Amino acid sequence: MQILTKDSYRPTILYVEDDEVARKVTSHLVSKEFPKVFLVLAENGLEGLDAFRKYSPDLIITDVKMPIMDGIVMARKVREVNKGTRLIVTTADSDINRILEAIDIGISHYVLKPINNLKLISAIRSCLNSIDRERNINEQLDFFRKLSRAVDQGPVANIVTDAKGNIEFVNSGFTRLTGYSYSEAVGMNMRILKSGVTPTEEYRRLWNAVTSGEEWWGEILNRKKNGELFWASVSVSPITDATGKVTNFLSRMEDITERKQKMETILYMAYYDSLTGLPNRYLFQELVQNALIQAQRHERMLAVLFLDLDRFKHINDSLGHPIGDQLLQATAQRLKECCIREGDIVARRGGDEFIVLLPELKSVDGVIKVTERIIDAFNSSFLLPEHELTISTSIGISLFPQDGSDPETLIKKADMAMYCAKEGGRNRYHFFKPEMDSKTFKREPMESSLHKALERGEIHLYYQPKINTVSGTISAVEALARWSHPEFGDIPPAQFIPMAEQTGLIGFLGEWILRTACIQNKAWQDSGFFPMRIAVNISLKQFQLVDVAEMAERVLAESGLEPCWLELEVPENILLQNNVATVQTLGKLSRLGVQITLDNFGIRGLSFCNFRKCPVNALKIDQSLIQNICSSLDDEAVVTALIGLAKCLKLDIVAEGVETEDQRKILESLECTVMQGYLFSRPLPADDLSRSFKKLKRSKKKTVN
């Protein structure tokens, strides 16, 4: 018998397997995935039974066919002593009678050989979670029984109900929160707190969880005795008797109304224009993304209108910004009156630019009808409190599917069409045409060259540091790809990375970038430079084409770089996919020890529901927001909201594209202290950056900021 480490109390797993190779491989897997467990190994059922008596394991993983005593016999003897021990059976025997015999004993999971590692890990995690929940419930019960007086005086509302939800006990915290006294609450059902707003389905999920013996937690909108609504963070734990029957429920309730209001304010600032109350460009992109999904599903047309007010600058400069703001507010109202179908969205992009989404269109005629209605509406004067103004608008139009299939492309092409409308004389509209995109003629020769660019050594990496402006230390260095084309010159990644994605080369190119960056970072460490993270960008297409977690693990092993010194910057719109595989990949990377940063944060529509599922460590504010932070109150408000959101979610925040001292000062006043941009350093070749390290302060201790 072999014992593998034991510290203070932690879950104990007994693994019984007579095959030495299988025992070594599986025990290594378990130790790696569950480093906090105490693992005991045994070679047969008799040895396993001795280990069970000695160590009282929480979970037993056992093979069936073994010499001396098989796993089924051992399991029966274990059940005679302790009916609560979880059992996982692994066997190559698919005989239905053996399976039924194992089920009759009361095993938790049955895993056939050859063992599927993911299924085994899932089964172990399920058992450990169940054990952990049971321990938590027992600890809560013990705490409640021994310290009832302390509970009664605590700041959190505590409630004990019977199995039907009728209140048997409340503490003074409950009275302070709800207004119901002890005598008023006892005997009543918890339904007295129902607001009538929380969906019935939410209560159904709560009840199904707790009646099946599980703990439930969540956020519910409740109602006080005086009718006032309040948000509560609620946990409900079932209390069972010796037979395992649920007899009572212990609920804990904390008022989070203020926190929810702050979060709603932050989200509003992040997604709505402060002047007009319209959705801003960030929310607009999310709404376009959602509309595109529906348009693809129903095979319908969709239009994006890009509007610019003709000669608005003249009015703003001559009459003053307050009058200009009044005109923008009136424009917003008039546009909403023109776009009256359900699903039509009017948003303010910034300045005197507006954008309109027209979803679920049957033909181009529908677009023309709305556009001409807008043009006609602007022919009437705007009656402001002290002025009567006349102004026209130029409109550019792009269509799905012919002009693009993503929000960025459709908005960009509508913008191009708007400029054509202005050049044509203003006060008119123009549809996008392919010849407007002047860059398309270079595409074909560059695509063919990309195939051989790596072989020829034309692609190389530059590195740009991220600086903690308070300590002056380098928190990370971002690897940035560059393509020096012999004919077209330097080609930016924004141009050749999409090409690599569309031609299928992104998997090969992305792995080369990752490997080169990791090797360079390890070389810096081996040269005596203090360890720092290397940040590598991973595109959405890479997640769709390759197993990024497997690639990262392999490259780290090949380069010898520890996972904690690798940071992967993933695009914000990856969370919009709501893809289980993506979430699982991010989870694997997080467990590996790799830091995950959400890149270009704030410029795409973010699904917060999906965001909460993903193990993100940091948010990186897009440089387009930083660029105008000193001159645009809207952009400053968005950045303020994003930083506040990061604080609420306890995430690190990084600002990219910082070029001026004024930008730096504003960001520092907002408590964003990690920055990246030309103010500190341009992207440099590895050798040049190595020589620059001595000019920059480096951290004195081994930390990952």
Report the chain's mean pLDDT, rounded to a whole number: 85
pLDDT above 60: residue 4: no
By the 8 A CB rule, do 539 and 569 touch? Answer: no
Query: Of the given ranges (137-141, 237-241, 320-324), which has the lowest mean pLDDT?
Result: 137-141
Give pLDDT tens digits for 392-429.
999 999 999 999 989 999 999 998 898 888 877 778 89
The CATH number for 148-255, chosen from 3.40.50.170, 3.30.450.20, 3.40.50.720, 3.40.50.300, is 3.30.450.20
pLDDT above 80: residue 344: yes
Give pLDDT tens digits for 369-393.
999 999 999 988 899 988 888 889 9
pLDDT above 70: residue 676: yes
SS3 671: coil
pLDDT above 50: residue 124: yes
Give CATH 3.30.450.20 domain extents, the chain.
148-255
In this structure, the strands spanning 246-255 and 388-389 are unpaired
Query: For 179, left (φ over 0), alpha (ψ -120 to 50), or beta?
Result: left
Give pLDDT tens digits for 552-566.
999 999 999 999 999
pLDDT above 50: residue 602: yes
Give buried/exposed letters for 543-557 (b at 16+ CB in 10 A, else e).
bbebebbebbbebbe
Q: What is the pLDDT of residue 303?
A: 95
Mean of pLDDT values over 19-36:
91
Q: What is the pLDDT of residue 279?
A: 92
Give pLDDT tens digits for 32-48.
999 989 999 999 999 99
Q: How many CB atoms lie within 10 A of CB 141?
A: 15
337 or 541: which leads in pLDDT: 337
Q: Residue 493 pairs with which residues in a beta bridge?
A: none
Q: What is the pLDDT of residue 146?
A: 61
Q: How confident is the model at residue 613 (pLDDT cuts 50, 70, 90)?
A: low
SS3 12: strand
Please identify, in words, the CATH class of the domain defined by 441-695: alpha beta
Give pLDDT tens digits for 210-232.
888 888 988 889 999 999 999 99
Q: What is the pLDDT of residue 543?
A: 82
Q: What is the pLDDT of residue 608?
A: 53
Query: Of the given ranges (7-11, 154-158, 406-410), which has the lowest mean pLDDT?
Result: 7-11
Handedness of CA 630, 631, 633, 634 (dihedral sign): negative
Q: What is the pLDDT of residue 332?
A: 95
Mean of pLDDT values over 447-471:
84
Q: What is the pLDDT of residue 703?
A: 38
Give CATH 3.20.20.450 domain extents, the chain.
441-695
pLDDT above 50: residue 704: no
SS3 366: helix
In percent, the amount of the chain with pLDDT more than 90 equals: 38
Q: What is the pLDDT of residue 664?
A: 93
Mean of pLDDT values over 163-181:
90
Q: What angle do CA 635, 638, 643 make, to 5 degrees?
A: 125
What's at 456, amino acid-wise? R
pLDDT above 90: residue 59: yes
Nearest to 536 by CA among 473, 600, 596: 596
In this structure, the strands spanning 566-571 and 533-537 are parallel
Q: Which CATH number is 2-132 given?
A: 3.40.50.2300
Mean of pLDDT values over 592-619:
73
Q: What is the pLDDT of residue 211?
A: 87
Mean of pLDDT values over 464-470:
91
SS3 225: coil
By the 8 A CB rule, do 239 and 137 touch? Answer: yes
pLDDT above 50: residue 665: yes
Q: What is the pLDDT of residue 200?
A: 83
CATH architecture of the region 265-438: 2-Layer Sandwich (3.30)
pLDDT above 80: residue 19: yes
pLDDT above 80: residue 459: yes
By the 8 A CB rule, do 269 and 638 touch? Answer: yes
pLDDT above 90: residue 60: yes
Give pLDDT tens digits for 84-106.
888 998 887 666 666 677 777 77
Residue in this structure with the two tokens 């181009």, named with its chain if needed: 364
Q: List all residues 6 or more positions away from 535 whose beta carbon is below 8 Å from its beta carbon.
A: 466, 476, 477, 478, 479, 567, 568, 569, 597
Query: For 110, left (φ over 0), alpha (ψ -120 to 50), or beta?
Result: beta
Q: How confident is the model at residue 600 (pLDDT cuts 50, 70, 90)?
A: confident
Q: What is the pLDDT of residue 587?
A: 87
Q: How confident is the model at residue 337 (pLDDT cuts 50, 70, 90)?
A: very high
- The terminus-to-terminus CA distance of the chain in angstroms comes to 43
pLDDT above 90: residue 695: no
pLDDT above 90: residue 292: yes
pLDDT above 50: residue 257: yes
Query: For 256, left (φ over 0), alpha (ψ -120 to 50), or beta?
Result: alpha
Give CATH 3.30.70.270 domain extents, the chain.
265-438
Q: How confident is the model at residue 497 (pLDDT cuts 50, 70, 90)?
A: confident
Burial class (CB in 10 A: 0-12, 13-18, 19+), 691: exposed
Query: Of the given ranges (164-178, 480-494, 554-568), which has the lowest mean pLDDT?
Result: 480-494
